[in-house]
Amino acid sequence: MSEKEPHPPHPLLAAYYDKMEKRPAFVRAIFDRTARHYDRINAIFSLGTGRWYRRWMLRQAGLKAGDRVLDIATGTGLLAREAAAIAGPAHVTGLDMSAGMLAQCRRTLPIALVLADAQQLPFADESVDFLSMGYALRHVGDLDRAFEAFRDVLKPGGRVMILEIGQARYSLARTVLRFYLGRVVPLLSGVAASKDSGTLMRYYWDTIATCVPPAEIISSLKRVGFSDVRQQTSLGVFHSYTGRKVS
């Protein structure tokens, strides 16, 4: 039997790697090199949203005290920190493929941390109540494979919440977003942090500009078996995707 057709979140970006197989190594390396500057450049990138938005979306998605949480691509812990404030630090585990990002997270956040790939989760099936991912879906290799892994570790009735940023709907807003995220943010990041930080932010924009539309993400979540799949948009560009594992 042939393997299923992959569903990458965006096409190959030749400015950064020449084969899809090289993307994970590129992503891991660029995050390792920029980890100590990441919180600073994220403040520039986030368009004024931040802790309030992350915590609000977690509550909207149904996270509650005592839930066992797995935060995928946790990075420096920006989303995991808000999850810990709701569920309790002892109930939150952060996972990332970048050792550098986990090292930064470990300095300020007392949660369990695991170095691993989002598509190969080293956790028992049906062991998590709530799974979150913040602004990292564009970095997985295959939407279906990632969502299948998410589904498997969730308990029956467990919830998934994914935050992402996408293209604006209207042309003027798209132009403004392209200028800000494609030019201003990389320039400021390069000046305020490091040359690699500027490269990371240019890569961020390129993944946003070429990312599949929300409808494809919704279809993938449904295709692997999530129910009650919903998408919510804030400020025209910030998307949240939620779903529930069938009991």
- Per residue in 157-208, pLDDT tens? 999 999 999 988 888 888 988 998 899 988 988 887 789 999 999 999 999 9
Number of structural domains, the chain?
2
Q: Are residues 150 and 34 in the same domain?
A: yes
- CA distances to 17, 58, 60, 76, 110 from 68, rounded to whole Å, are 37, 13, 17, 19, 15
Verify that 122 and 36 share a domain, yes or no: yes
Tell whether 226 and 120 lie within a shared domain.
Answer: yes
**188 contact partners, CB below 8 Å, separation of at least 6:** 44
Q: So what's the pLDDT on residue 86?
A: 98
* Residue 1 confidence (pLDDT) above 50: no
Host domain of residue 196: 171-201
Report d(CA 217, CA 237) in Å as an integer.
15
Listed residue (158, 164, 167, 165) closest to 61, CA to CA: 158
Q: What was the pLDDT predicted at 191?
A: 85
d(C-alpha 37, C-alpha 42), whole Å: 9
Please enumerate, by residue number, every residue annotated as part of a binding site.
Answer: 76, 96, 117-118
154-165/238-245 β-pairing:
antiparallel
Predicted confidence at residue 212, as pLDDT, reads 96
- Binding-site positions for S-adenosyl-L-methionine: 76, 96, 117-118
Same domain, 225 and 118: yes
154 occurs within a structural domain: yes
| 221 shares a domain with 114 | yes
User: What's the pLDDT tens digit per position in 22-32?
Assistant: 999 999 999 99
Is residue 47 predicted with pLDDT exceeding 60? Answer: no
Same domain, 75 and 136: yes
| pLDDT at res. 147 | 98
pTM equals 0.94
Contact 94, 77 (CB under 8 A): yes
Tell which residue, 165, 197, 208, 190, has the closest CA to residue 49.
165
CB atoms within 10 A of CB 81: 21
Is residue 5 domain-resident? no
pLDDT digits (tens, 9 = 90+) for 63-90: 999 999 999 999 999 999 999 999 999 9
Q: Residue 11 domain-assigned?
A: no
What is the structure's pLDDT at 151?
A: 98
> What CATH number did the domain enclosing 81 receive?
3.40.50.150
Is-contact 154 245, C-beta < 8 A? yes
pLDDT of residue 112: 99
CB atoms within 10 A of CB 57: 23
Confidence of residue 58 (pLDDT cuts 50, 70, 90): very high
**Structure tokens of 38?**
């990441």
Q: What residue spans of 61-213 are helical by DSSP H?
A: 78-87, 99-108, 143-153, 171-179, 185-192, 195-210
Task: Find all residues with CB under 8 Å of 181, minimum gap 6, and list them.
Answer: 45, 201, 204, 205, 208
Tell me the residue ranges of DSSP E strands in the chain. Answer: 69-72, 92-96, 112-115, 128-134, 154-165, 226-234, 238-245
Domain assignment present for residue 122? The answer is yes
217 found inside a domain = yes
- Same-domain status, 154 and 176: no
d(CA 104, CA 106): 5
Question: Is residue 48 very low, low, confident or very high in pLDDT (cuts 50, 70, 90)?
Answer: low
Please report whether residue 1 resides in a domain. no
Shared domain for 196 and 102, answered yes or no, is: no
- 121 and 151 co-located in one domain: yes
Position 42 in a domain? yes
Specify whether 87 is located in the same domain as 195: no
Residues 64, 183: one domain? no
Q: Let me know whether 84 and 157 are in one domain.
A: yes
CB of 95 closer than 8 Å to CB of 118: yes
Residue 119 is predicted with a pLDDT of: 95
Residue 104 and residue 38 in contact, taking contact as beta carbons nearer than 8 Å: yes
- The answer to whether residue 206 sits within a structural domain is no
